[in-house]
Amino acid sequence: MRGRLLLLLGLSLLVSCVPVNQVQQVQGLSGPVSITFDRWGVPHIRALASDMDVFFAQGYVHARDRLFQMELGRRAAQGRLSEILGSGAVEQDRFFRTWGFYRAAQASLPNHTEFTRRALEAYAAGVNQFIREGNLPFAFALLGFTPEPWTPADTVAWGKLQSYDLGQVWQDEIDNTFILNRVGLEGFNDLRGDYPQGWPTVIQPEDWRSSHKQDVHIQAALLSPSTQALMQQVVRFSEELSYAPRNLEQGSNNWVLSGLRTTTGKPMLANDPHLRLQNPALWYIADLQGPSYHAIGATIPGVPGVFLGRNDRVAWGA
């Protein structure tokens, strides 16, 4: 039964990704917007009146093609997966609520620039326009619920969840604590090595010096057994929730060629972020153009703008 349910969910996601061009009137736009899909299914969004219309339309096409993916992402960040998936997701919900990704997202909203806040609101309005039309992916009917309106906090929380999945420094710190507790400071330095004095760092020199004081290491090694057991439990559960086993050698590749070395005379950038394979994919390719905003490349459903791509002047990667 479970396998059949997963198959139906997968088929509904594939069906929802078939592009369709149509003409319709939509409330909430400043002016006309066109969305055309090329032969690869990539949407080309053109807005004449406002850049915010671009993000509205982006939210609309993201929701049309990936709404269920977006719903799972925000529910994971909120700690609300068990509401639709049952008791098997309760521990995961408790884990993510303890981290507080959604609380952090809500608290961070006032700190964004005016442009970012407007983009988040326009994007959410586009998502909600699609939800109001009622042509929802089959997965929602299968699980028996209707998605709530999308909010800017949902977008920010989804970003924080991605940062959590990609950031492993906190796990390294816990590993270091276990090593210190087992072999002491001298043994730790033999195993891990000491960062060479004078090498570049991302912190201020005074902070670097204070971090090398011996009492800092001793304090970390004196954690109680019960605290260490809780830390081990957190790491174990975090690894179970990850899309794939932890890979300490993982990293992204990128390179740039000067225009002196290309046939066009223009520089070239290549970027390979080493992210795990998933279906649907994390990325959604789109071309966005408004009166002053133009970018094309890899977007993430649930988030406005382009993450990896180019505009009329520069290209960027991660």
86 domain residue, yes or no: yes
The answer as to whether 265 is a domain residue is no
Exposure on the CB side of residue 226, measured as CA atoms within 13 A = 0
Across all residues in the chain, what is the average pLDDT? Answer: 83
139/106 same-domain check? yes
pLDDT tens track for 151-200: 999 999 998 988 887 776 777 777 777 777 777 777 877 877 776 777 77
Percent of residues, the chain, with pLDDT higher than 70: 81
Q: Are residues 91 and 41 in the same domain?
A: yes
Supply the Cα-derived Rg of the chain in whole angstroms.
23
Q: Which is more confident, 172 or 58?
A: 58
- Among candidate residues 224, 241, 258, the one where a domain is terminated: 241
DSSP one-letter code for 153: H
Tell me: do 192 and 229 sit in the same domain: yes
Mean pLDDT across the stretch 138-159?
A: 95
Regarding whether 128 and 109 lie in a shared domain, the answer is yes
Averaged pLDDT for residues 114-131:
96
pLDDT, greater one: 63 or 191: 63
pLDDT of residue 309: 96
Does one domain contain both 89 and 202?
no
Tens digits of residue pLDDT in 219-271: 555 677 787 777 777 777 776 665 445 565 667 788 999 999 999 999 999 99
Co-location of 159 and 173 in the same domain: no
How many domains does the structure of the chain reveal?
A: 2
pLDDT of residue 192: 75
Q: Give the whole-angstrom CA distance, residue 71 versus residue 259.
A: 43
Residue 9 lies in a domain: no
The domain spanning residue 69 has which CATH number? 1.10.439.10
Indicate if 143 and 225 belong to the same structural domain: no
Please enumerate in sequence order all residues whose Cβ is within 8 A of that of 309, keeping only pairs 6 or more positions apart, or say none.
295, 296, 297, 298, 315, 316
Question: In angstroms, rounded to a whole number, what is the distance separating the alpha carbons of residues 198 and 148?
Answer: 53
Residue range(s) defining the domain that contains residue 103: 26-166
* Whole-number pLDDT of residue 173: 78
Residue 164's pLDDT is what? 82
Is residue 291 situated within a structural domain? Answer: no
Q: Are residues 216 and 148 in the same domain?
A: no
Which range scores top for mean pLDDT: 110-114, 209-213, 234-238, 273-277? 110-114
198 in the same domain as 119: no
Separation of alpha carbons 180 and 220, rounded Å: 8
Residue 177, pLDDT score: 79
Both structure tokens of 104 = 């952090």
CA 94 to chain centre: 20
How sure is the predictor about 38, in pLDDT bands with cuts at 50, 70 and 90? very high
pLDDT tens column, 71-81: 999 999 999 99
Domain end position, chosen among 241, 261, 281: 241
Show which of 222, 241, 260 is a domain's final residue.
241
Q: Looking only at Cα atoms, what is the longest distance across the chain?
A: 70
d(CA 53, CA 60): 10
- Same domain for 109 and 130, yes or no, is yes
Q: Which residues contact 255 (CB under 8 A, 6 or more apart)?
A: 269, 270
74 and 185 part of one domain: no
Residue 299 burial by Cβ neighbours in a 10 Å radius (0-12, 13-18, 19+): buried
120 and 217 fall within a common domain:
no
Residue 30 per-residue DSSP state: S
Range in 7-11, 51-55, 131-135, 255-259 with the lowest mean pLDDT: 7-11
Residue 64 lies in a domain: yes
